[in-house]
Amino acid sequence: MRFIEAFTNFGKESKWKWTNFLMELKRLDRTQYIILIFLTVASIFMLLPIVYIFNHAFKPLHELFLFPPTFIVQNPTFQNFIELMSLTSSAFVPVSRYIFNSVVVTVLATIAMVVTSALCAYALSKHPFPGAKLVFSLIMISLLFVPQVLQIPRYVVVQNLGIMNSYWGHVLPVIAMPVGVFLMKQFIDQVPNELLEAAKLDGASEFGIFLRIVMPIVTPAIATIGIISFQSAWSNVETSQLFMQDESMKTLPYYMMSLTANLANTVARQGAAAAGALFMFLPQFIIFLFFQRKVIATMAHSGIK
């Protein structure tokens, strides 16, 4: 009964939203209609890569090499995924180990990046200290450096810390996140100082203020930073290449890259490469779909003071 009632309420709500949408369309003038049509066409155009990667993974081998290439698969097949599984079954380290490493590293790295970004932004925003503006400027300047510049310093630091071939070797080099500090600081700047002072008068501790007042207010920024962190940690191959000599400590993206390496001008494993690309893309796509509203809210408010 509860399921039927919930389904009925969902239908009524959807009908109300659709009616409200049609009423809003009737109120638009000619210029707004042109803008709406343009944005609709642009949205469809931006969806094409996503549609392509899904169709490409299900193409049989002869469709993968058609010229001119086809956008929509004509004879979908699961042979590419079967080929991918057959390649992984013959590996020295089971693919489940790579998946486990990727899940552990992604979860730990995402949590670490969100927490460190929030703590750093809170200190810069609500507890200005001598040189705080200089520190924030240096954090923004760090965005100008390409990742290749930092590879040798990171390797030296990781080696001196003795965390090679460990999960800490995956997590610690990627904790620093300048974009996360920037987005989080823009949100925390909007939290009224009077609210924090009132909490202090009520006896709240500094950590309690940060955890119970500031963090709930900046939830959209947390979700956005979480998505960015998840995407960077899930697709990261640098730590596996530089800091992991033990094959059992490497992650799934590195394994997928090793399977599809040097395939640009060959026919072999192209189907497996297409299936692997979809397999790597799908978790990021699902996470983004769940938190897309938070991302839009963050981008809309990141420049508002």
d(CA 78, CA 60): 8
- Poorest-pLDDT segment among 4-13, 23-32, 56-65, 275-284: 4-13
**% of residues, the chain, pLDDT over 90:** 8
Mean pLDDT of 182-201: 87
**% of residues, the chain, pLDDT over 70:** 83
Cβ within 8 Å of residue 168, ≥6 positions away: 161
Instruction: Using the predicted structure, report yes or no on whether residue 38 has a pLDDT greater than 80.
Output: yes
The Cα angle at residue 286 between residues 82 and 279, in degrees rounded to 5: 20
Instruction: Using the predicted structure, report yes or no on whether residue 60 has a pLDDT greater than 50.
Output: yes
How far from the centroid of its chain's Cα atoms is residue 5's Cα? 36
Residue 232 to residues 24, 222, 253, 299: CA-CA distances in angstroms? 39, 15, 11, 19
Helical ranges in the chain per DSSP H: 2-26, 30-57, 61-64, 79-89, 95-126, 132-141, 151-161, 167-171, 178-188, 193-201, 206-209, 215-217, 219-234, 238-243, 252-259, 270-301
What is the predicted pLDDT for the residue at 148? Answer: 78
Place 9 in a pLDDT band, splitting at 50, 70 and 90: very low
3-state secondary structure of 23: helix
Place 117 in a pLDDT band, splitting at 50, 70 and 90: very high
What is the predicted pLDDT for the residue at 189? Answer: 87
Peptide bond connecting 130 to the previous residue in cis, omega within 30 degrees of 0: no
Put residue 188 in one of left, alpha, beta given phi > 0 → left and psi -120 to 50 → alpha: alpha
What is the predicted pLDDT for the residue at 7? Answer: 34
How far from the centroid of its chain's Cα atoms is residue 196's Cα? 31
How far from the centroid of its chain's Cα atoms is residue 126's Cα? 28
User: What is the average pLDDT score of the chain?
Assistant: 80
Instruction: Using the predicted structure, report yes or no on whether residue 126 has a pLDDT greater than 70.
Output: yes
Q: What is the CA radius of gyration of the chain?
A: 24
The closest of 237, 146, 148, 135 to 181, measured between CA atoms, is: 135
